Amino acid sequence: MTCTIIQATEEHVPVVTSLATKTFADTFGSDNPVEELEVFLKETYTHELQLKEINDPAMRTYIAYDGDNPVGFCQLREKKDVYDFVGDPNAIELQRIYVDKDCGRKGYGSKLMEHAVQKSKKLGKKTMWVGVWELNPKAIQFYEKHGFRTVGSHIFKVGEQGGH
């Protein structure tokens, strides 16, 4: 495996949009009604929104490549309002980390996580937090393997479905 990770710029918006849409649908598609998933994807992973996030100074988007093939991405987000249960008001959020299902179990997720941790430390962050659906045991196991632990919960909705 050759894994190169770059910080996304405006020219990478189509790559991030495509990866985000595909990986979210692959991960949560079977748990949500098709119509609600489609609406969520169209509202959340638009070209315009990805461009806005890439240009947002409080966000950093990184793309993992195997050669010329984009295989995953992660996003770090600095927020003014961090959930109290995180325990560090200066914490950074690992907002998204996804790897193409065809490239899973090859270490790309771990490489992205290591990169995110390294970048967070360079920003002076001592705490990183992530929201994960409690019914996604693979993700929970991945985060625990990388030192995360459960400290609280919050709601994330896709359409009328709650708890994602």
pTM of the model: 0.87
The pLDDT tens digits for 74-122 are 999 998 888 899 999 999 999 999 999 988 788 999 999 999 999 999 9
| pLDDT exceeds cutoff 90 at 16 | yes
Q: Note every long-range contact of 112-116, with CB atoms under 8 Å and residues 24 or more positions apart, other chains counting.
A: 112/5, 112/62, 112/64, 112/72, 112/73, 112/74, 113/74, 113/142, 113/146, 115/5, 115/62, 115/64, 115/74, 116/62, 116/74, 116/76
